[in-house]
């Protein structure tokens, strides 16, 4: 049976690891936070005292860490995994990080004949728990075929975005569109309500008209319009504004590398930074609505 080392058991990693256990994989797990490991140990995973120990004798390593620096440290740092892993090990790096960081790890892995994919996800904590994540994969197509059954245990849609780093590029493009749509929707909701419209009526008209978009379908930022949206629960749960700001920053970095013009993404990043300054970074990213109401 395949043994997988799973590193990083946070909001996303924990439910993803649980789904791998359910699918019958052997799991060796590590997180800096002991309580996350305890939960998985009870479900049948083997706890480790370091990432290196978790990866020992594993055929596959999956990481789900906060940001680029954590990933570079895990794989390329002083006691980095790339030096320690056996050639032929499969590395699936699922965090959202800078495309250039992903490519750095790809290069080091390739030099040691380690197969690596960058495979960031979309679908949030609900998708992670339900096993319906979307994986955006960068790397060799043949490596993706080796990893397909593992992704399928955690997700529903598996896209090959292109070569090394392409998964991360797809992810930052997608999240930039999401942020811009959310801000535009919040701005229009505030405009309509200030001019006397009922929020639910305006939301439904726009949803079914040419302004319709994902945030109007699934995630309206105006409190009370959608019962299950974070906006109706005090902007709790969902996808934190500080993570959106991180992803918008990554999009700007990627644009810098290629000299691409991304004015909407730049403005979206500035608005999310403002929210962070207001102490709203831990709230759902639809809290951007509050920038437009008195």
Q: Which residues bind ligand NAD (CB under 6 A)?
A: 7-13, 30-33, 36, 51, 64-66, 70, 74, 95-96, 121, 124-125, 239, 243
Question: Which one, 71 or 202, has the nearer CB to ligand NAD?
Answer: 71
Give dist(CA 152, CA 146) in Å, integer: 11
Contact 273, 281 (CB under 8 A): no
Side-chain half-sphere of 139: how many Cα atoms within 13 Å? 31
Shortest CB 67 distance to ligand NAD, Å: 6
Question: Which one, 22 or 69, has the nearer CB to ligand NAD?
Answer: 69
Contact 189, 195 (CB under 8 A): no
Per the annotation, the verdict on 277 as an active-site residue is no
Give dist(CA 221, CA 287) in Å, integer: 7
Shortest CB 171 distance to ligand NAD, Å: 8
Catalytic residue among 171, 233, 280, 282: 171
Question: Which one, 32 or 43, has the nearer CB to ligand NAD?
Answer: 32
Using the 8-state DSSP alphabet, how is residue 9 labeled? -
Question: Which one, 31 or 118, has the nearer CB to ligand NAD?
Answer: 31
CA torsion through residues 220, 224, 228, 234, sign: positive
Among residues 294, 289, 290, the alpha carbon closest in space to that of 184 is found at 289
Total residue count of the chain as it appears in this document: 294
Q: Which amino acids are annotated catalytic?
A: 171
């Amino acid at each position: 049976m395949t043994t997988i080392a799973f590193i990083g058991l946070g909001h996303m990693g924990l439910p993803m690891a649980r789904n791998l256990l359910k699918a019958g994989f052997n799991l060796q797990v590590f997180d800096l936070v002991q309580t996350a490991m305890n939960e998985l140990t009870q479900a049948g995973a083997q706890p480790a005292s370091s990432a290196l120990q978790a990866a020992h004798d594993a055929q596959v390593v999956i990481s789900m860490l906060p940001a680029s620096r954590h990933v570079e440290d895990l794989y390329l740092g002083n006691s980095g995994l790339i030096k320690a892993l056996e050639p032929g090990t499969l590395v699936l790096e699922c965090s959202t990080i800078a495309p250039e960081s992903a490519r750095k790890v790809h290069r080091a892995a390739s030099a040691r004949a380690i197969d690596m994919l960058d495979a960031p996800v979309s679908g949030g904590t609900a998708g992670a728990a339900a096993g319906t994540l979307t994986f955006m994969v960068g790397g060799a197509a043949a490596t993706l075929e080796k990893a397909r059954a593992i992704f399928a245990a955690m997700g529903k849609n598996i896209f090959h975005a292109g070569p090394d780093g392409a998964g991360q590029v797809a992810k930052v493009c997608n999240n930039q569109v999401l942020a811009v749509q959310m801000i535009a929707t919040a701005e229009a909701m505030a405009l309509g309500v200030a001019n006397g419209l009922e929020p639910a009526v305006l939301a439904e008209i726009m949803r079914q008209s040419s302004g319709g978009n994902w945030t109007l379908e699934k995630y309206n930022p105006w409190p009370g319009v959608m019962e299950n949206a974070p906006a109706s629960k005090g902007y709790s749960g969902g996808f934190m504004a500080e993570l959106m700001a991180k992803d918008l920053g990554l999009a700007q970095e990627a644009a810098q590398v290629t000299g691409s013009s991304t004015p909407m993404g730049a403005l979206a990043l500035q608005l999310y930074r403002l929210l962070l300054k207001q102490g709203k970074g831990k709230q759902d990213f639809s809290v951007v609505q509050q920038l437009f109401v008195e």
